[in-house]
Structure 1
Amino acid sequence: MSLGLVHRKEVQKRRKRRLWAMIKFVFVVGLCGGIGYYAHEIGLSVAQEEVLIWQTRYENQAAENEKLKVELGQDKAELDQMKQLLPNEDMRNVIAVVTAKANEGVDLARMENIISGISKDATCDAEIDSKRFMVLTPVSPDEVSTASYYRGLITVSGTGSSVMNENGAPEAWFDPAKEVFISFMMPGGEKQDISGTLPLYHSVITGGSEYRFSITAGRTSFADASVQRCDL
């Protein structure tokens, strides 16, 4: 083999190696470019979805804020209206009493009729009827003790806590320093209850009249109940 032939083969080998190297380089560059482009497209798509999600959240939040503003404006308008209807604390106290009675089950129509029938200047009887009744305790010897007024129109009874003696044992009479429970019975089985420490005050409205009661501690075991009738 001549030197010229060997040299030509060597040159051809080097050319092939350079060609393959060039092909590999182009392939690698193309592959990297393709991967980069694909990654760019995925990243752009994800970013667009994120933007859409946040935009939707922003729009929903903005709509919710507008709704809350409207509701707040309505509440403020209602509050202003209530303040106009209830200009002072006395009126608010009356509404509070009516609400409490309604929650206890008192018929609203009945309260409306009672209130509408009240006159500006109430006229009360000069006579005051006073009676006493035993405030029963868990160890009282009697099972029933009542005081009736106006021919049985209103019957009053009460229960309380026993006085404790020096040995810590309960006595038969009630302790006027502790809470007592007073009941007012009307015809038809209607009943009104109050509780607290004596003296206690309560008004019963029935038959077109108001009966104002005052309950005070009497002699041992007893409570004194006075009542005055007034026109509505």
Structure 2
Amino acid sequence: MSLGLHENRQRRRRRFWWAVTKWSLALIAIVAAGAYSYRIGSQLAARDVTKAEQRIVELTEEVGGLERQSAALASELAKSKESIAAWQARYEREVPTGFVRELMSLVQQKLDAGADQERLAFLVSTAQKPRTCDETPQTKRFIVTTSLQSGANDAVSFADRSITVTASGTAARDASGNIEAWFDPNQPVKIAFTELGGKSVTAEGALPLHRSIVVGDDEYRFTFLPGARGFLSVTADRCDYP
């Protein structure tokens, strides 16, 4: 009887220690798994922190670069505004407006029409001086030479014969298209001014035609208009020069 009890106690003891051993091994396994997981998690967290720190450094550098670029652009913008303001001020100073602009436009028209540059410059520089002119302009007429017309009465003189004026033009045509002897007043004419000594200048254009000639201290202002058939009428007004 005592032997059976002893064996039962031995079996219960072995089962107890086996249970303790199993739970101990299970606990050890759980602790080991937890420790391993903690270690892996710590490594991953450390890696993520490192990556985050690197990204922060990169972003900080990018922000710094953008700030420097923004400062450079702001500086360039300020310089551009200063340049624009300077050009605007220069434009307002140098580009004429109002009467001056109209006067420059008129001067350009005169230059395009063949006016003498030095003469225009002189007239502008002496514009404040009153002009003294004769009260009795001279008017004369002469024949305009053509391909079929030349000879007598084809010249007139002014300034005590110091200026001789002649003209040539295009021959007129009748209704049938035949050439006539006299010039066509609707076509441009060419005027020649010959001074004593042989110096000659010309003016060419449609009538009425205007031209000024300076001889010594006198300026002669000529105006040409169509006269009787074949003739040209010229009026000369003498003024002091300058």
Report the TM-score, using the length of structure 1 for normalisation: 0.63
1:230 match: 239
Unaligned runs of 5+ in 2: 1-17
The separation in 2 between residues aligned to 1:176 and 1:109, in whole angstroms, is: 29
Distance 1:184 1:42, change over 3 A: farther
Matched, 1:147 2:155: yes
Structure with the larger RCO, 1 or 2 (CA within 8 Å, 6+ apart): 1
Aligned residues: 218
Deviations 1:57-113 (A, max 9, x none): 22232233234445545655668xx89xxxx95997489539955996946489539
What is the match of residue 216 of structure 1? 225
Secondary structure of the corresponding residue to residue 33 of structure 1: helix
> What is the SS of the residue equivalent to 1:176?
coil
CA distance in 2, matches of 1:48, 1:143: 92
Which structure 1 residue ranges, 5 or more long, are not aligned? none
- The one of 31, 35, 58 aligned to 1:42: 58
Q: Rg: which structure is higher? A: 2
Give the distance between the partners of 2:225 and 2:68, measured in 1 at CA.
76
The separation in 2 between residues aligned to 1:190 and 1:40, in whole angstroms, is: 90
Tell me how large the CA RMSD over aligned residues is: 4.7
Counterpart amino acid of 2:63? A
Deviations 1:183-214 (A, max 9, x none): 44344655353534x32333222322121212
The question of 1:199 aligning with 2:199 is answered no
**Residues 1-232 of structure 1 aligned to structure 2 (within 5 Å):** 10-70=26-86, 72-73=88-89, 76=92, 89=99, 93=103, 96-97=106-107, 101=111, 106=116, 108=118, 111-112=121-122, 116=126, 120-124=130-134, 126=136, 128-134=138-144, 136=146, 140-141=147-148, 147-150=155-158, 151=161, 153-159=163-169, 171=179, 175-177=184-186, 180-187=188-195, 189=199, 191-196=201-206, 198-232=207-241
> CA separation in 2, counterparts of 1:78 and 1:165?
55
Offset at 1:174? 5.2
Cα offset, 1:29, TM superposition: 1.8
Query: What is the TM-score when the length of structure 2 is the normalising length?
Result: 0.61
- Shift of residue 159 of structure 1? 4.2
